[in-house]
Structure 1
């Protein structure tokens, strides 16, 4: 921690200017500190109460208290001074200096006082009238930032102070602070477990974009190392396992804070061999009944894989599929809980795999050989390298799966839930497949069988269930014990980022409202067209619609009742007066003005040449 405190604090005090002065726009501005300054002044005014003594007398008392080392008493006096003379920048700085000098105690760690000192120093800087005063205020502000360990802010204001008043002492203090807390290499890491290892260096500040860093990174024995840059990190790519590298980050490497790396940073890095591991090639939980060769396991530096398979039965399926753990890797104790409480352990053993140093080997685990007969429910395969000791709290590679030829799809609308069952092998629709619709509370809402077209429709009332009775899952049972399920609570395919989200399904009448263009000048006429349709998309004639036009400020501009002009269509001209406000205007259409609108459109009114 650094600290600056002027000897002039105990010297004769300057004459205070009590008349307000208009300070010029300052180089250093901070919105948060501007807000804090307003709050601090109000708080100090309340704390000071009624001040009866003149400022000169108060300064004399404060001077005496400082000499007597009564810093808390001196701070109380200076609170009164800045209350009656709020434009005295020197008094604000003196108050900040005193607050910074008061040592922490068992009952007060000083954090609130340091925060106040930072704000007081900022006020002093904003109200200073000379460059020398500004420089002194910035030094106090830097000291306050340092007390709060806000080193970047401290460096920034110290650098600004040096521009205003450069001294050898201050320059030495800045350089020492710059070396310790300025732009520097903060840490490094070696990603040895990746197929293509790399060494990454993390910096204390962000790195500039679109900058060629190759002149600043040297790798012994390589002319042009492969580099990648991301925010505060530079990575040397394309390293090899079992090799040692000498990497130098050269002085002058730039940052986004107008500071360069002060000196070369040299590193000797060894890239070890990859740790034994096993992982999955994907998270899809439905394995096709025909054509599949098992669950692919990708192994590294191990010749055996310990495999355990668990089964969760049909009646316990819902809570587990809708729970947090579904399709995630599980801890050892969670798997034990499944075996003891939620399901059962149905198979355990070892899988022999090929081993090639640091290479990824893919081996299919033969599910149908391990489990010739599969019961309804979901299965979990947990795997770990055979040469790694088991840990109860360690994460295991976990594949949730079912083996089925039943491909399920569901659509929900105002007319109910439409379910489709197709063969995963041939895509053909499958008839005579039993479908159970389960509620969130695990109650069976309905049971139906698919027709020859492979479809089933569940009534609209079932789709509108709420709470525990809301539809949550479809469970399918086919010939030969074939079994599949579909989670109705998970997010559907989200195509909104492709611009094809569409509109909400109408519950009754639906108005399609549009204008002939999107931008108008004042004085022009907007032509609004409305097409009225029902939920099936059929034109609705002979219905009067209320068309309300609103200005950008939400004030109603015009309200018109428009009759049907044929096949549910109608048009309305809305003249925009020359004095109309610019911005986004809104047109809303109502079949009943007391109910929500059934259609809307917006347009811009702008002044343009």
Structure 2
């Protein structure tokens, strides 16, 4: 028993000794670490000062200049030498990069490069200096530190099939590749396959360096070529300005889906009456040129056909509460050539026209001596409420700035008063528009004048309404405003006679009186040398009063378009330089040479001294095409011969001449197979903001300048989704973003199609609900 107890005691003693030894070693280690971190007071010079830390210690950020901070083991300078920039820095960087440095702490040196570090590059940093620092300290750091910018990688890759018009029912494969850095297309071609599966030829579309590249195939029939195919970007590809190439092949492979038969998924009606439509939703886009031949409507009505991606729109005068039979014969083709395998028939009932109230006219000016009837149109409404409010003259600036285009009735007690409120019963037929009139003169009376807001609302659903602004006055106002001059004409509306002695006042947007005067016998008031008087203010509205009558002219709503006038020319050069660029002609075919001349002059046409500048050319999609470096050596005149590749995109090419970042001249030329008719294109969406997962409805309209709509013309589009900063009004002290989240812009092509007879086409683009931007997203549309 005693031996066992002695053994246990020995084990306990050994364990206690081991534990004590471990604690002693741990304490010694902590003391040693603290001794290394805490700089003890110096009694003499340290000739072997080392670097204890360097930041960043591995990766640099090439998106913006990155500073380098070096922490030394000793204090190197006194307090009075902190935060002083100098160029003789104690570090050497290879590859070299210029910059300045300063001591931000006694033992921390900061290097501030003058430019961003090169992409995909490794930098070697040596810490060395022959300088003697505080206490006689000297730097003796034998190590070489390595930091590098991220290497080139593919950040996004996707493919899509684009239908071609000729040959019919053929497609092209589009391969979209996004790189972390811009790459040169000439070098990229060396790392791309020339064909897909040895059969389908591939061609790189871009001609200038870019982060986004598109490879397109020759036309093919997807019925004959589909399945999985190998595709790889081989290693060794380098970015523009980089030194470390891709270290491995990027081989995602490509899948061309097998075409599926075209299927009709849904038939629905939208609206009733003129320009209403029946929408047929398909599993894939159909060939617009043949749709009308396969569709019949019973009862028979005249209709036109438009297409929106995979939806067919039958536009006509569909009568409310009428049932129509939509029949589609088999054999209708999709754009990929797939057929509708059997006949289709469906009935659709047109609903009633939703209740609505509309004023046919915009804001109305009414003469005190003329008709003062205001027309209003209602549909499927039995009783309305008519409301009239007067805006007080002294509140006209606030009203025009904040309330005239907003929700009627909101906070209007601050600006005026309600003078009329009455319900009216209407007698109208179901689904038939009814036009009624409101006698504003009778409501207002002979003694009142000025600005009024008239609203007509559905009695039991006040949100169904429309409103109009009405000004009752006999004063007509016209004005001419330039940088330093303002002229105002005042005439009677009824007889166009000049009004003398009228008070004319110019207000700023923040309700400050900038100028005031009276009209002369000609009805004219002239203000000269006004630049200094209106400096720092925005001229907003002119008011005119005479004998209790009031009228106004708001600049933002009354500007006359200069498109019908010769307003060509440019302002005189006040400082710096400008470049006049011109070519031998304005239109070139692919494969030709553009002969360009650039003439640089200073103020008053002075000959410039010799200095370099650059000319950059962008293609029709806004991507870099070519860049040239020129000088003003030969009297400021330089000549360029620009080779246009045979595969160059057609469209407008823009040239910009710059000295550093300052733009000094611009020019553009066209690359066309032939000179097309000029077309005006407009794009509109139904809302300004959307939620993730919502469907964005994009209306595109094309009209020939000085001609008819672009009926039947090809249409295409492009969507770009990029990160944006969300900052709601009233929450400026809060941040609504996650800086740790990065978002790569998303590029999407809208499918090729044709415009309808009115030159219109509607696209649908669904914003993915799975996107995770740092804050919000911004959508850029082009067509």
Q: Any idea what SS the aligned residue of 1:238 has?
A: strand
Q: For residues 411 and 667 of structure 2, what CA distance do their matches in structure 1 show?
A: 55
TM-score calculated relative to the size of structure 1: 0.55
Whole-Å separation in 2 of the counterparts to 1:306 and 1:559:
77
1:456 aligns with 525
* Alignment match of 2:264 (pick from 184, 203, 214): 184
Match of 2:29 in 1: none
| CA displacement 1:447-495 (0-9 Å, x = unmatched) | 21222333333342257532xx32222111123x221222234583444
Counterpart among 552, 561, 575 of residue 485 in structure 1: 552
1:289-368 mapped onto 2 (5 Å cutoff): 289-302=368-381, 304-323=383-402, 325-327=403-405, 330=407, 335=409, 337-351=410-424, 355-368=428-441
Structure number with the higher strand fraction is 2
- Aligned to 1:485, what secondary structure does the other structure show? strand
2:544 to 476, 480, 502: 476
Q: Report the 3-state secondary structure (helix = DSSP H, G, I; strand = E; otherwise coil) of the residue aligned with 1:213.
A: helix
Question: 1:168 aligns to what?
Answer: none
1:214 aligns with 2:292: yes
1:340 Cα deviation from its structure 2 partner: 4.1
Question: Which residue of structure 1 aligns with residue 504 of structure 2?
Answer: 435
Native 8 Å contact 1:463 1:470 kept in 2: no
What are the Cα deviations for residues 21-72 of structure 1, in whole angstroms up to 9, with x where unaligned? xxxx99996544x448x99xxxxxxxxxxxxxxxxxxxxxxxxxxxxxxxxx
- Looking at structure 2, the residues matched to 596 and 265 of structure 1 have their Cα atoms a distance apart, in angstroms, of 63
Distance in 2 (alpha carbons) for counterparts of 1:316 and 1:376:
14
2:305 matched to which residue of 1?
A: 228
Instruction: From the superposition, tell whether residues 561 and 585 of structure 1 become closer, same or farther in structure 2 (CA, over 3 Å).
Output: farther
Asked if structure 2 preserves the Cα contact closer than 8 Å seen for 1:550 and 1:586, the reply is no
Structure 1 residue 286 corresponds to structure 2 residue 365 = yes
Matched, 1:158 2:257: yes
Point out where structure 2 has 5 or more consecutive residues left out of the alignment. 1-158, 162-171, 182-225, 231-253, 617-626, 645-652, 672-783
- Please give the alpha-carbon distance, in whole angstroms, between the structure 1 residues aligned to 2:660 and 2:423: 70
Question: Alpha carbon RMSD of aligned pairs, Å?
Answer: 4.9
8 Å Cα contact 1:298/1:362 also seen in 2: yes
Stretches of structure 1 that go unaligned for 5 or more consecutive residues are 1-24, 40-133, 139-154, 161-177, 533-539, 563-573
**1:372 Cα deviation (Å)?**
0.7
More helix by share: 1
Structure 1 counterpart of 2:460 = 389
**Length-normalised TM-score, structure 2:** 0.44
- Which residue does the alignment assign to 2:767? none
Cα distance change, pair 266–478 in 1 and its aligned pair in 2 (3 A)? farther
| 1:194-235 Cα deviation digits (max 9, x unpaired) | 3565433344544444x142332222343x742331423321
Match of 1:165 in 2: none
1:365-444 equivalences in 2 (<5 Å): 365-373=438-446, 378-385=451-458, 389-391=460-462, 394-444=463-513
Q: 1:280 to 1:26 in 2, by over 3 A?
A: closer
Does residue 252 (structure 1) correspond to residue 331 (structure 2)? The answer is: yes
Distance 2:632 2:380 in 1: 75
Distance 1:256 1:248, change over 3 A: same
User: Which 10-residue stretch deviates more, 434-443 or 194-203?
Assistant: 194-203
Q: Distance in 2 between matches of 1:508 and 1:405?
A: 45
> How far did 1:158 drift?
3.4
Shift of 1:187: 4.9
CA distance in 2, matches of 1:156, 1:493: 56
Distance 1:221 1:357, change over 3 A: closer
Q: Give the drift of 1:293.
A: 3.7
What is the distance in 2 between the residues matched to 1:30 and 1:208? 20
Correspondence 1:536-547 to 2 at 5 A: 544-546=606-608
